[in-house]
Structure 1
Amino acid sequence: MKSNWFKQAVGYQIYPKSFRDTNDDGIGDINGIIEKLPYLKDLGVDFIWINPIYKSPQFDGGYDISDYYALDEDRFGTMADLQNLIMQAHSMGMKVIMDLVVNHTSNQHPWFIESRKSKDNPYRDYYHWQPATPDHLPNNWISFFGGSTWTIDDATGEAYFHVFAKEQPDLNWHNPKVREEIYAMVRWWLEQGIDGFRLDAISHIEKAPWDFEIKSFKDNDPWEPFMNVAGIEVYMAEFKKIFDEFDALTVGEASGVSTKEAPNWTDDQGYIDMIFELEHSDKDDEGKADLKIFKDTIMRWQEDLLARGWNAPYLENHDQPRVIDVLGDGTETSAKALAVAYMLLRGTPFIYQGQEIGMTNFNYTNISQVDATDTIYLYNEKLAEGLSKTAALKAATVNSRDHSRTPMQWDATENAGFTNGKPWLVINPNYLEKNVAAAQANPDSILNLYKFLIQLRHEYQDISEGNITFLFPEHPTVLAYERGEFLIVTNLSATPTTVTFERPRHDYQDMVTQALAPDLLDLSLEGWAYRIYKKNKKTA
């Protein structure tokens, strides 16, 4: 019987390159994670998710793997280091999950190197190859990184398929040999002692027939032929057998899986434990998210997975700019309100490194400060369209993934305590005031609020596993809900507002101030206010 320990748990995402560097090469490493395990234990998290540390040319931040069985030792450390990390994390009561990237490999993976040699190479069918000419590609599909999903290879004159960059060719999951190789690799890693996986881009592993024609290039339509395509359930069921055998924790990046389909993916008989939905993270050209879309999306995912299934609420990750600037107004007050709003939802919440101290976006002044491949692509596209360097830089970086990848700000010493070397990526100059050491010393910090919220999840089953009922669903700025004996109200705006309950709420205690709340009927909320109330139990 699979255990459900994760329902009381909180996860913490680590982007290793930017977390902590211990050998002064400017790149974070495994030993840096080990060094900070006591910090994570004190924060209260139950497991860590580590972004890719596998052998890779690092064209896409490690999501282009050239050897599934090897670590990138020059950058991150050895298998002995990883074993030490797993052992020490386990000794502190924390689990460790890693990224599983099986939609594609690097174009420097031995399989692809062989595959491109000739049309009759034994590895040819490990990838998707089709006859093509520059004027006649197999279809009109476009990649997530822009341009065609097809790249013609001079060696054989055919084109190979990639939903991401051309340096990341997609694996052919129709080939049983590919699946055998992947499943063997999954077992091997679980046998090394890791506790599970975050499944990267997992909903893209099945593709529509090549003659599928994209009719619209708006919204999500261009991704339809490779996003949760029928047939994927066969592969996910095969995965599930392995995951269940090891009682592995699994969270899927599964874009295209709707709220109506998600229960079948994540209930007690589902393929995986939980899903990261991507719907709430849409942003405009100014780098701002629409609060109504955010609120409506959160409510729909919570309600549609209430009877069956499980959510993985999050605000930030390695692919998203900092939420304090996207949904908030840059103030710590806004970061706190957002923390309360999502941390007490139903599901297993994830915190991304630096989110707990309110790290902010970076003010880019030159494209040389950027590492993210897709941002550089977009910058060059904007230049080609005739924009000035300044305008192109702003357009390309406003929603860049690099905002969340600037090094972790540990203290006010040089390079924010991240490294004694030259950092691989620019450090935000606000580290002098915004850092872990300062947050630890401030009882009213965002960090200490996160500790409190995690404690609530651990202490009260109403918060960890209870039902959820949303209040004021049509209110433009208030996200409010009841979880058993708890009442959570947040104003996700700098504008004060008032909400009126349908009936008075009696005998509630404010869990932040510990004060008894007056009868709640009309509740005035200042900008970015939050309230966490708990019903007082009647004494005999």
Structure 2
Amino acid sequence: MKRNWWKESVVYQIYPRSFKDSNGDGIGDIKGIIEKLDYLKELGVNVLWLSPVFESPLDDNGYDISDYRKILNDYGTMEDYEELIAKAHERGLKILMDLVVNHTSDEHPWFIESRKSKENPYRDYYIWKYPKDGKEPNNWGATFGGSAWEYDNETGMYYLHCFSKKQPDLNWENEAVRNDVYDMMNWWCEKGIDGFRMDVISMISKDQSFPDGKVYGGLYGDGAPYYMNGHRIHEFLREMNREVLAKHDIMTVGETAGVTIEEAKMYAGEDADELNMVFQFEHVSIGDGPYGKWTTNRYDFMEYKKIMIKWQEELQGKAWNSLYLGNHDQPRSVSRFGDDSEEYREISAKMLATCIHMMQGTPYVYQGEEIGMTNAYFEDISMYKDIESLQYYEELTGAGLMEPEEMMECLKLRSRDNARTPMQWDDTVNGGFTEGTPWINVNSNYSRINVEHQIKEKDSIFQYYKELIQLRKENEVIVYGSFTAINREDEKIFAFKRELDEKKLLVLCNYSKEETAFKVPEEFTPEKGEVLISNYRVNEWKEEMILRPYEAIVLTFQTVL
């Protein structure tokens, strides 16, 4: 297996709007991130992935970019960004830029020109179609609700937007579009960034016949089979690699919704000449219902374990995994996969971290995960800011498909705003995030869940994350060791081993709040091993283990030849 710095790294995702406000306007900014670089260095992460900080009307909180080479005033200036890169590099931290090139804002100069006339040089930068039988060109629904097509009176045609109507999709069939994107990417690489996280990159190749999609219970057809992992996607990414990525020592991770194992090997194979790794979404889609993520269903552990094992085993030696449970688009991981009650929040957060960080792949820590931040559980629709949450609330309740009370319960569990409440730094007003009025409410539990408390406590979640990350730096087996699942049919325990040369690890994670017995395989005997880390601070172990609620334990062995 090839050795690379990005395989050995731990990535920390920053949602800039909610991380740290330096000027009291209620909005996180780049100077706020600079203020906290020493905190991130202490945590031990290597790479900082920043969600977009570029010029934007903020219809989708920055994922609708109107100028790829300008910093949004809310976040600061280009000089601030350059200072961030320099000061991060001084501390051995790398910067991963969020690349959003499936679509732009409708306020981007390219689109402003494109919609002026059918003859405009920028017309084909976007996807325009004539009405079909007086209606939309097809029945596709947008990811944020409603139709994926918006009628434009100026030219009497529809443009495609797989997300918000203010996020028109770029036409990657147009070589001029691709060249402009590559030029922009090279420009950023020359500024000193260390890589790209590529937003919905699996969607840039569309089926050019634009057929109708199947209707599964909502109001619109599912266009995903026709705009995800399209037939030219690998051609486009190999071209991107030749024109940009191969010229720089950078890290790349693609957000690839709908990706299969076989496709992942093509995107991120050891010799694929495309990307370093991809994000897959199978495990965070467990429990989805007829209205997609809008459900109160709890995830199924056995399905979760099966999916995680599949991605570990089938990519092993062929492609590299991205390891994550939370990000800016997901609810808080401890609320979804663990137990955020007062009794079990800390212990289950540590268990989840143990399981993820001990697998083969690059771990991603979403801001606040390292202190066990929870879902916000907002009680009123007026407290939500996320375009997806608000549009689906209106669409599903308006169509009578859900009662408002039911939809509110779904939002409490699955809304993206759960991950976007401000970082909880201390127990002062607004959790130390801002001296002004925060752009979105701070989680009401900030007085007991915050960084200041966690740093002071010897056995906090933060300290546990530090230990996990340090162990990864000290033990090559955690990074490069093989993965083998154990006791696959156990309905409560996720168990696996890692092996590299003469070293072995046995990882046991109880995903339930019940005591559960586990017989340690004979190859792991007490006299040959020791405890590497445990969330209950166990120092010894037996051949018959009784794992307590949400207990995690990692045993390490040196093979005697």
Please confirm whether the aligned pair reaches a TM-score higher than 0.5, indicating the same fold: yes
Correspondences of 1:193-232 after superposition (within 5 Å) = 193-217=192-216, 222-232=223-233
Aligned to 2:493: 478
Partner-residue secondary structure (3-state), 2:497: strand
| Structure 1 residues 261 and 435: alpha-carbon distance in aligned structure 2, compared to 1, 3 A threshold | same
Q: Deviations over 1:67-126 (max 9, x none)?
A: 111110x20011111111111111111100110000000011111111111111111100
Alignment of 1:173 onto 2:192: no
Q: Deviations over 1:406-442 (max 9, x none)?
A: 0000001111010111101100111000000101111
Deviation at 1:391, TM superposition (A): 4.0
Among 371, 376, 379, the residue aligned to 1:365? 379
Greater shift in the superposed pair: 96-105 or 323-332: 323-332
Partner-residue secondary structure (3-state), 1:336: helix
Deviation at 1:518, TM superposition (A): 4.5
Q: Answer yes or no: is the 8 Å Cα contact 2:144–2:164 preserved in 1.
A: yes
Aligned to 1:305: 315
Q: Deviations over 1:266-289 (max 9, x none)?
A: 133221111111110025411632
Among 343, 346, 353, the residue aligned to 1:332? 346
Aligned to 1:57: 57
Deviation at 1:393, TM superposition (A): 2.9
Aligned to 2:290: none
Partner-residue secondary structure (3-state), 1:393: helix
Tell me the matched-pair count.
536
Deviation at 1:528, TM superposition (A): 0.4
| Structure 1 residues 515 and 105: alpha-carbon distance in aligned structure 2, compared to 1, 3 A threshold | closer
Partner-residue secondary structure (3-state), 2:445: helix
Aligned to 1:351: 365
Q: Answer yes or no: is the 8 Å Cα contact 1:133–1:158 preserved in 2.
A: no
Alignment of 1:323 onto 2:333: yes
Q: Deviations over 1:241-274 (max 9, x none)?
A: 2111112110110122211221222133221111
**Which letter does structure 2 place at the counterpart of 1:188?**
W
Partner-residue secondary structure (3-state), 1:86: helix
Q: Which whole-Å CA distance do the structure 2 matches of 1:157 and 1:398 have between them?
A: 41
Correspondences of 1:40-55 after superposition (within 5 Å) = 40-55=40-55
Give the TM-score of the pair, scaled to structure 1.
Answer: 0.95
Q: Answer yes or no: is the 8 Å Cα contact 2:111–2:122 preserved in 1.
A: yes
Q: Answer yes or no: is the 8 Å Cα contact 2:286–2:303 preserved in 1.
A: no
Q: Which whole-Å CA distance do the structure 1 matches of 2:116 and 2:430 have between them?
A: 46
Q: Which whole-Å CA distance do the structure 2 matches of 1:261 and 1:377 have between them?
A: 31
Aligned-CA RMSD value: 1.9
Aligned to 1:249: 251
Greater shift in the superposed pair: 319-328 or 277-286: 277-286
Aligned to 2:282: 279
Q: Which whole-Å CA distance do the structure 2 matches of 1:261 and 1:42 have between them?
A: 37
Greater shift in the superposed pair: 169-178 or 492-501: 492-501
What is the percentage of aligned positions where both structures have the same residue? 43
Q: Which whole-Å CA distance do the structure 1 matches of 2:403 and 2:316 have between them?
A: 50
Aligned to 1:431: 446
Q: Which whole-Å CA distance do the structure 2 matches of 1:399 and 1:444 have between them?
A: 30
Partner-residue secondary structure (3-state), 1:279: coil
**Which letter does structure 1 place at the counterpart of 2:171?**
N
Q: Which whole-Å CA distance do the structure 2 matches of 1:502 and 1:446 have between them?
A: 29
Q: Which whole-Å CA distance do the structure 1 matches of 2:481 and 2:522 have between them?
A: 22
Q: Answer yes or no: is the 8 Å Cα contact 1:134–1:152 preserved in 2.
A: no
Q: Answer yes or no: is the 8 Å Cα contact 2:377–2:413 preserved in 1.
A: no
Q: Answer yes or no: is the 8 Å Cα contact 2:506–2:554 preserved in 1.
A: yes
Q: Deviations over 1:275-332 (max 9, x none)?
A: 1111100254116322222211111111111021101100100000011111112122
Q: Answer yes or no: is the 8 Å Cα contact 2:212–2:223 preserved in 1.
A: no
Partner-residue secondary structure (3-state), 1:261: helix
Q: Which whole-Å CA distance do the structure 2 matches of 1:515 and 1:427 have between them?
A: 35
Deviation at 1:459, TM superposition (A): 0.4
Partner-residue secondary structure (3-state), 2:490: coil
Deviation at 1:183, TM superposition (A): 0.6
Q: Which whole-Å CA distance do the structure 2 matches of 1:502 and 1:95 have between them?
A: 40
Q: Which whole-Å CA distance do the structure 2 matches of 1:111 and 1:335 have between them?
A: 45
Q: Deviations over 1:103-153 (max 9, x none)?
A: 000011111111111111111100000111684322222221122211111
Among 529, 546, 552, the residue aligned to 1:524? 546
Aligned to 1:147: 146
**What 5-or-longer segments of structure 2 have no aligned partner?**
288-294
Give the TM-score of the pair, scaled to structure 2.
Answer: 0.92
Q: Which whole-Å CA distance do the structure 2 matches of 1:441 and 1:426 have between them?
A: 26
Q: Which whole-Å CA distance do the structure 2 matches of 1:221 and 1:301 have between them?
A: 25
